[in-house]
Amino acid sequence: MSFTVPFQRSLKMAIGNLWRNKLLTTATILVMGLILFIFNVIFMVNVLANQAIDSLESKVDMIFYLEDTADILVVNQLVQDLEALPETDIVTYLTKEEALQTLLEKYKESGEADPFETYGLDNPLPASIHLTTHEAADQETILSYLLQTHYDTVLMDIESNEENRQIVQNLIQITVFTRKLLLGIILTFLIGSTMIIANAIHITIFNRKKEINIMHLVGATPTFIRSPFLLEGAIYGLFASLIGVVLLMAFSNSLDLTEFTYLTLNINYLSLFITQSILSMLLGMASSSLATHFYLKHHARV
């Protein structure tokens, strides 16, 4: 009971303050909600970009062609060593016969005759090892490893394909850019929201400075004076989160990702709303605490 009554009184005062400053309240909530919406969109784009990058990385593999004179025991050992590396994901050994059969399958699909059988040609294709790494940047590690081993005697060429190298570098740059962009948006939201709420609370305090001074003179505690403003900050954060999630729902529902089979957008809006509400309310209370502390320290002398 000792806690419930002061809380109800503070909540009533907070709602009264918000209602008296309807224009300021609406503007603050809308600006915070738009910042949250932009953050949510950037976060969603970052998730989709990571999915696209992962899909591209799985297609950017490394191919090592083997000499026709390569000892099969050495080749098997090379495959085992590559599989044991922490950077490798999938290692596949393709024999000369399997390589030729793969090529002939393409001729069958197009309806053309088998040129090797028609003209009595020998199999010119080499055996090869196909390797996929967990991340695009790991390809350089694999190349460095092979250059330091004795397996260069069974490999035709260890040097990376220049086109693959460029694709890998582009993927790395895109990944780094999206991470930096997301971090920048987070910092912008934190700083911007803190300044917006602190400014709104400061204006409210300024409009009620006579009332606050009277409360101080009659013996009101600092906690009693601060609590309505802390609740105001929490309310700002709560409604801003609601606006941000509602706008995100409308935006994501307008997207058509059916053409991109490797992209999936599964958002739990309830969990997102709860998480962002808690964080935004804490941020709002922290901003309000900062504004009230500054005012009370320099004006009310609390």
The H or E element that residue 256 is part of is none
Q: What per-residue confidence (pLDDT) applies to 242? A: 92
Asked whether residue 50 falls in the same domain as residue 66, the answer is no
pTM: 0.59
Mean pLDDT by 10 residues, the chain (302 residues): 64 78 81 83 76 65 82 87 87 85 70 63 81 76 80 70 60 73 76 74 69 70 77 86 89 72 72 88 81 66 44
Q: Which of 164, 161, 160, 156 is nearest to 145 (CA)?
A: 160
Tally the domains of the chain: 2
DSSP character for 93?
E
Place of tokens 């060429």: 157
Q: What per-residue confidence (pLDDT) applies to 302? A: 41
Calculate ∠ Cα 13-14-18, nearest 5°: 115
Asked whether residue 220 falls in the same domain as residue 250, the answer is yes
Burial of 223 (0-12, 13-18, 19+ CB in 10 A): exposed
Asked whether residue 65 falls in the same domain as residue 213, the answer is no
Look at the chain and count its residues: 302
In the listed set 77, 112, 135, which residue is the last one of a domain according to the structure?
A: 135
Q: Given strand 62-65, what is the order of strands in its sheet?
A: 62-65, 128-133, 88-94
Q: Which of 172, 102, 167 is nearest to 130 (CA)?
A: 102
Q: What per-residue confidence (pLDDT) applies to 260? A: 61
Dist. CA 239–CA 272, nearest whole Å: 14
Would 178 be classed as within a structural domain?
Answer: yes
Amino acid at 163: E
In the listed set 86, 118, 135, which residue is the last one of a domain according to the structure?
A: 135
